[in-house]
Amino acid sequence: MLNKYIQFPDTPNARQAISQRFSDKYRIPGVIGCIDCSHFRIHGPPKEEEHQYYCRKHYHSLNVQMVCDDEYRILNVNAKFGGANHDSFIWENSDLNKYMQSLHRNGETVWLLGDSGYPQRPWLMTPILDAAPNTPQANYNQKHMTARVVIENTFGRLKNRWRCLNKDRVLHYKPLKCSRIILACCVLTR
């Protein structure tokens, strides 16, 4: 059911349409989505798995990776990882990373925008650290930040629409069921 409603653009024409919208709105060509992770609180998992879910924010969570387009549409979601996992680890172990690599190998010049928690790759653009003011690098960072806010807003909309996902709430189920609830909310938001 998830794949019926949440679909990453799987044709060159679909990717081109998204890329054109990002270029028109944010003046960054080739972007087909923005990526980030967000923590969703869960009630204590089984003791033998607890270390996988205890996050840097000092609570149990799922660290959910999501990609959206310029219109806040969820294109991909991965709710398999506990909160102890870093965003870059989730990305490196995702099917989407492999898919983006294959697009790059086949000569398609498209990429995702991610924050500094992600590694810079030919298919994943991150901010340039320590960019001097009034330089092309600083200009790029400004455009990057302006465009990437759509993923922050997408997470915000999801959590505000489905109050059970709000940061002040806790999902009181086993991690697998929590993951399914998050995915269902993503489908219903789409």
> SS3 of 125, please?
strand
8 Å CB contact between 117 and 91: no
Please tell me the predicted confidence (pLDDT) of residue 78: 98
Residue 138 lies in domain: 2-189
8 Å CB contact between 123 and 110: yes
CA pseudo-torsion sign 46, 48, 49, 52: positive
* Cα–Cα separations (whole angstroms), residue 80 to 30, 44, 60, 105, 114: 28, 16, 14, 27, 19
Please tell me the predicted confidence (pLDDT) of residue 7: 95
> pLDDT 10s per residue in the chain (190 long)?
688 899 999 999 999 999 999 999 999 999 999 999 999 999 978 899 999 999 999 999 999 999 999 999 999 999 999 999 999 999 999 999 999 999 999 999 999 999 999 999 999 999 999 999 999 999 999 999 999 999 999 999 999 999 999 888 999 999 999 999 999 999 999 7
Please tell me the predicted confidence (pLDDT) of residue 127: 97
Please tell me the predicted confidence (pLDDT) of residue 36: 98
Q: How many domains does the chain have?
A: 1
**Which pTM was predicted?**
0.94
Instruction: Please give the full DSSP string across 126-180, using - where no structure is assigned.
Output: -PPTTPPTTSHHHHHHHHHHHHHHHHHHHHHHHHHHSGGGSTT--B-S-HHHHHH
CA distance 174 to 44: 8
CA distance 88 to 133: 27
Question: Between vectors from CA 31 to CA 87 and to CA 147, what angle results, nearest 5°?
Answer: 75
